[in-house]
Amino acid sequence: MSGRRHVIVTGGSRGLGAAMIEGLLADGYRVSTCSRSKSAAIDKLSDLGGDDFFWQSAQVGEADQVDAFVKAAGEWAGEDGIYGLVNNAGVARTGILASFPNIESEKLIQINLIGAIQMARACSPYLLKREDGGRIINISSIIGARGYNGMSAYSASKAGMDGLTRALARELGRRQITVNSVSPGYVATEMSSTLTPPQMMQIVNRTPLGRLATEQDVFELVRFLLSDKAASITGQVILVDGGISC
């Protein structure tokens, strides 16, 4: 098993996370993920990945659980260590801030931002041990840069992730560890399924490419950033939004 690249992808129990893990397994990576509980997607990935897939229950945003998961994933990988981290776990809630419960804002920040910081901190010692560098990829959102009505807390959490990307790229760059944000617009996943048909049509009409991005669109960029071809790209926030931010 030695010599294989091992990537941690958080939030792999559904949607984009599960799609990225499936793609990485097909590319020959070993992959670890965590979620609060198992899901049908985790069972499928376990069947697909076999000995190259590891799952453990953990709540991103809870430091003790994050540390325990990363330690277990590192031990599972053995000599392969940890090559990459994809901070994908996140939640989205909408509501005008004046009436948005504080507990919901705190949950968003705790999972989306604090959780990403915790994961990067826990993985960094493994990455720093490597002689061939490593990768951290934060799955952000165009909402972090542009903002939308009813998404103040969510926007703040994603803007924070982009700040983390830029600062951490400076901290880790001398060890050839790159840190980037992948910033999707609306993606055709479960999270966008709550949009009404008129809302969906409005977004599509405002998008130069005339369609929502797909999970595969996002994964292709993640795949590239994990590769040796992206060794000189760091500290960047890269949009995958069909041009809606133009």
pLDDT tens track for 114-123:
999 999 999 9
Residue 246 has pLDDT above 60, yes or no: yes
- Positive/negative CA dihedral, 12, 38, 71, 2: negative
- Examine residue 143 and state whether it is found in any structural domain, yes or no: yes
Count structural domains, the chain.
1
Residue 191 has pLDDT above 60, yes or no: no
Domain with residue 89: its CATH number is 3.40.50.720
- Examine residue 158 and state whether it is found in any structural domain, yes or no: yes
Structural domain span for residue 43:
6-240
- Examine residue 66 and state whether it is found in any structural domain, yes or no: yes
Measured between its terminal Cα atoms, the distance across the chain in Å is: 45
Q: How far is CA 37 from CA 40, 60, 206, in A?
A: 10, 12, 37
Q: How confident is the model at residue 48 (pLDDT cuts 50, 70, 90)?
A: very high
**Could you tell me what percent of the chain has a pLDDT over 70?**
96
Residue 199 has pLDDT above 80, yes or no: no
In angstroms, the CA 155 to CA 171 distance is: 25
- Examine residue 103 and state whether it is found in any structural domain, yes or no: yes
- Examine residue 1 and state whether it is found in any structural domain, yes or no: no
pLDDT of 200 reads: 79
What mean pLDDT, rounded, does the chain reach? 92
20-46 pLDDT, tens per residue?
999 999 999 999 999 999 999 999 999
pLDDT of 192 reads: 59
Residue 154 among the catalytic residues: yes
Count of residues making up the chain: 246
Check: CB of residue 54 under 8 Å from CB of residue 31.
Answer: yes
Nearest to 160 by CA among 176, 141, 179: 141
pLDDT of 42 reads: 97
pLDDT of 30 reads: 98
Task: Enter the pTM of the model.
Answer: 0.93
For the record, the structure tokens of 22 come out as 């499936």
In angstroms, the CA 62 to CA 83 distance is: 23
Laid out side by side, the sheet with 134-139 consists of 53-57, 30-35, 6-10, 84-87, 134-139, 177-184, 237-240
For the record, the structure tokens of 124 come out as 């960094």
In angstroms, the CA 196 to CA 185 distance is: 17
Check: CB of residue 66 under 8 Å from CB of residue 116.
Answer: no
Active-site residue, selected from the candidate residues 29, 83, 126, 154: 154
Residue identified by tokens 């709550």 is: 194
170-181 pLDDT, tens per residue?
999 999 999 999
pLDDT of 1 reads: 39
86-115 pLDDT, tens per residue?
999 998 888 899 999 999 999 999 999 999
Residue identified by tokens 């005008």 is: 96
- Examine residue 245 and state whether it is found in any structural domain, yes or no: no
Between the CA atoms of 68, 189, 226 and 4, what dihedral angle is there, to the nearest 10 degrees? Answer: 60
